[in-house]
């Protein structure tokens, strides 16, 4: 599926998580991969150009309806789903919230989100390692978020490809945990350079890991000067007030493409 990273052909399945069978399924596209260098570059350029075109359509659709879409990206285990569950409990009573879950397989995270009572759609990407603009459009068509609502997109756990694909989102949020060490922003600079916000999760574990909080924050700003960094703990609630303040200031994307941050 991904001409950028060569991850193979994806069998993408999109379905509302209602405890029953998936509402929709289908194959997004197939590529016959030729690994000759020039053709791989051509495929990558064409894939990204097509994605950007679709992202522009998403942006216009979201802007017309005043919908804020936040793209959450991280490596597996950083705490995206836990952050979403806690956020939904505190935010959904005062603002409509919808979630689009991205994983290669299973509906585990979507079922967890469904238990909070908010609408959720699961996108399984098969061999694909990221969501793209077409998948977001299909997810939005399935879940139909109300005008003025907040939509969280939990991207596939991966610190490389998700950063390359514009979804038409309002903002990109990278979640990293202190248990991952201090150097993730330096090892995966494109991901952190693309972020509008970096959340450093699991700060309650700082006494038990060899990490100084100021170092990953400094590394984030090395690759993305001026990026806002929010340390927090989903478990204890420390720092979540700042997270909710940031959410309140997030604005819908504009049709011209500017994002909140």
Classify burial at 5, counting beta carbons within 10 Å of its beta carbon; exposed 0-12, middle 13-18, buried 19 or more: middle
Within a domain: 260: no
Query: Is residue 121, in this structure, part of any structural domain at all?
Result: yes
45 vs 94 pLDDT, higher one: 94
- Alpha-carbon distance of 59 to 256, in angstroms, equals 8
What is the rounded average pLDDT of the residues 121-149? 91
Residue 206 maps to a domain: yes
Q: Work out the average pLDDT over 183-199.
A: 97
**CATH for 65:** 3.40.50.300
Q: What is the pLDDT, as a whole number, of residue 12?
A: 66
Taken in order 91, 92, 94, 98, is the CA torsion positive or negative?
Answer: positive
Q: pLDDT for 137-172, tens place per residue?
A: 999 999 999 999 999 999 999 999 899 999 999 999
Angle at 98 between CA 94 and CA 102, to 5 degrees: 145
pTM of the entire predicted model? 0.84
Q: What's the per-residue H, E or C state across 183-237?
A: CHHHHCHHHHHCCCEEEEECHHHHHHCCCCCHHHHHHHHHHCCCCEEEECCCCCC
Instruction: Please tell me the distance from the alpha carbon of residue 134 to that of residue 27, in angstroms, as a whole number.
Output: 12
Range of the domain at 201: 13-249
- The reply to whether 256 falls in a domain is no
Per-residue pLDDT, averaged over 67-96, amounts to: 95
Query: What local confidence, expressed as pLDDT, does residue 52 receive?
Result: 92
Let me know if residue 89 belongs to a domain: yes
pLDDT of residue 106: 79
Q: Is the pLDDT of residue 26 over 80?
A: no
pLDDT at 136 over 80: yes
Q: What percent of the chain has pLDDT over 70?
A: 80
Angle between helices 240-249 and 80-91 (to 10 degrees): 70
Compute CA distances 246 → 100, 171, 196, 218, 228, whole Å: 20, 11, 11, 20, 10
Residue 105 is predicted with a pLDDT of: 82
Residue 146 forms part of a structural domain? yes
pLDDT digits (tens, 9 = 90+) for 214-225: 999 999 999 999
Q: Looking at residue 35, what is its pLDDT? A: 46
pLDDT, position 94: 93
Lowest mean pLDDT among 33-42, 168-177, 215-224: 33-42
Q: How many domains is the chain built from? A: 1
């Amino acid at each position: 599926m991904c001409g950028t990273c060569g991850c193979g052909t994806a069998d993408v399945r999109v379905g509302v998580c209602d405890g029953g069978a998936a509402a929709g399924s289908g194959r997004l596209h197939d590529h016959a991969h030729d690994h000759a260098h020039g053709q791989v570059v051509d495929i990558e350029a064409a894939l990204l150009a097509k994605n950007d075109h679709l992202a522009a359509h998403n942006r216009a659709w979201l802007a017309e309806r005043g919908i804020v879409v936040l793209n959450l990206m991280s490596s597996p285990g950083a705490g995206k789903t836990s952050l979403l569950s806690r956020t939904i409990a505190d935010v959904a009573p005062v603002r409509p919230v919808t979630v689009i879950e991205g994983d290669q397989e299973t509906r585990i995270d979507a079922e967890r989100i469904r238990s909070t009572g908010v609408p959720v759609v699961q996108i399984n990407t098969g061999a694909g390692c990221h969501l793209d603009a077409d998948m977001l459009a299909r997810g939005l068509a399935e879940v139909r978020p109300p005008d003025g609502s907040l939509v969280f997109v939990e991207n596939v756990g991966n610190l490389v490809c998700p950063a390359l694909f514009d979804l038409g989102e309002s903002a990109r949020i990278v979640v990293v945990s202190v248990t991952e060490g201090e150097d993730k922003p330096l090892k995966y600079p494109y991901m952190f350079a693309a972020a509008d916000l970096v959340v450093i999760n699991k700060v309650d574990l700082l006494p038990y890991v060899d990490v100084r909080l100021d170092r990953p924050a400094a590394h984030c700003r090395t690759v993305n000067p001026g990026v806002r960094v929010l340390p927090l703990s989903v478990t204890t609630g420390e720092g979540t007030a700042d997270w909710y303040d940031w959410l309140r200031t997030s604005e819908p994307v504009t049709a011209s493409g500017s994002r909140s941050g």
